[in-house]
Amino acid sequence: MHLNLNDSTMPIYQQIAQELRTAIGEGTFAEGMQVPSTTEVSQAYQINPATVLKGMNLLVDEGLLEKRRGLGMFVKIGAHQKVLQAKKQQFLNQEVSKIVQEAQQLNITQSELIKLIENQYHR
């Protein structure tokens, strides 16, 4: 994990959640796999274990991690697909919207934009 403890405007617990989410999406933490404990993460980054737990609990609430009493946190089955779907939706909502708005401002027609995207896609 790569946390920015000094300069980030994102709270540390959210950074932890985002790093774990990314690792699940990339397959670093496979479904069914145990993630590092709150103690391991807190010691590695010299941060409060409660902060780490708060970040992990975000992922529990999202259905990406599950707590196994006495064992730790594990990646839930289906978590990888959930992360990819969320990233896809974010891409569609943010990036594609920007592209369409910019194209409209430049008077690029829908068919021209589709052709441009197809050309880029086949490169």
Looking at residue 116, its pLDDT comes to 92
Looking at residue 7, its pLDDT comes to 67
92 to each of 41, 43, 86, 109, how far by Cα in Å? 33, 38, 10, 19
Yes or no: say if 64 and 75 are a contact pair by the CB < 8 Å rule: yes
Q: How many CB atoms lie within 10 A of CB 65?
A: 25
Q: Which residues of the chain have pLDDT under 50?
A: none
pLDDT tens-digit map of 15-35: 999 999 999 999 999 999 999
Looking at residue 10, its pLDDT comes to 87
Yes or no: say if 15 and 8 are a contact pair by the CB < 8 Å rule: yes
Looking at residue 65, its pLDDT comes to 98
Looking at residue 17, its pLDDT comes to 95
